[in-house]
Amino acid sequence: TQLLEQSPQFLSIQEGENLTVYCNSSSVFSSLQWYRQEPGEGPVLLVTVVTGGEVKKLKRLTFQFGDARKDSSLHITAAQPGDTGLYLCVVPGGGGSNYKLTFGKGTLLTVNP
């Protein structure tokens, strides 16, 4: 069983459309991070959320941490081809250790011009 379930797994949209991707779990987390991985590169941290109900904005990206700190969403407004990449939901710990990150399998987003 995956600790983090991300949906959808794949998403292909046209430039200018809006989209939302989700990260869900049955566990409660002290914090949650979103990373983006572009082709041929390693993941890059986009945001860390720590408070239930927290909303953070990064230009056209809006991140929300669920009230119960079990889930999160990422909304992109007016998507651009440069937003193409693998969006990964990440939590610290897992398997009884704090010294690791546990990743969801990601949402692969393709924005077509």
What is the contact surface with other proteins in residues (CB under 8 A)? Answer: 30-31, 33, 40-45, 48, 88, 91-95, 97-106
> 17: which 2 tokens?
């459309």
The helix (H) or strand (E) run that includes residue 110 is: strand 107-112
Cβ-based nearer residue to other proteins, 20 or 31: 31
Q: How far apart are CA 37 and CA 65, in angstroms?
A: 21
Q: How far apart are CA 26 and CA 4, in angstroms?
A: 8
> Residue 92 CB, nearest distance to other proteins (Å)?
2
Cβ-based nearer residue to other proteins, 78 or 101: 101
Cβ-based nearer residue to other proteins, 44 or 78: 44
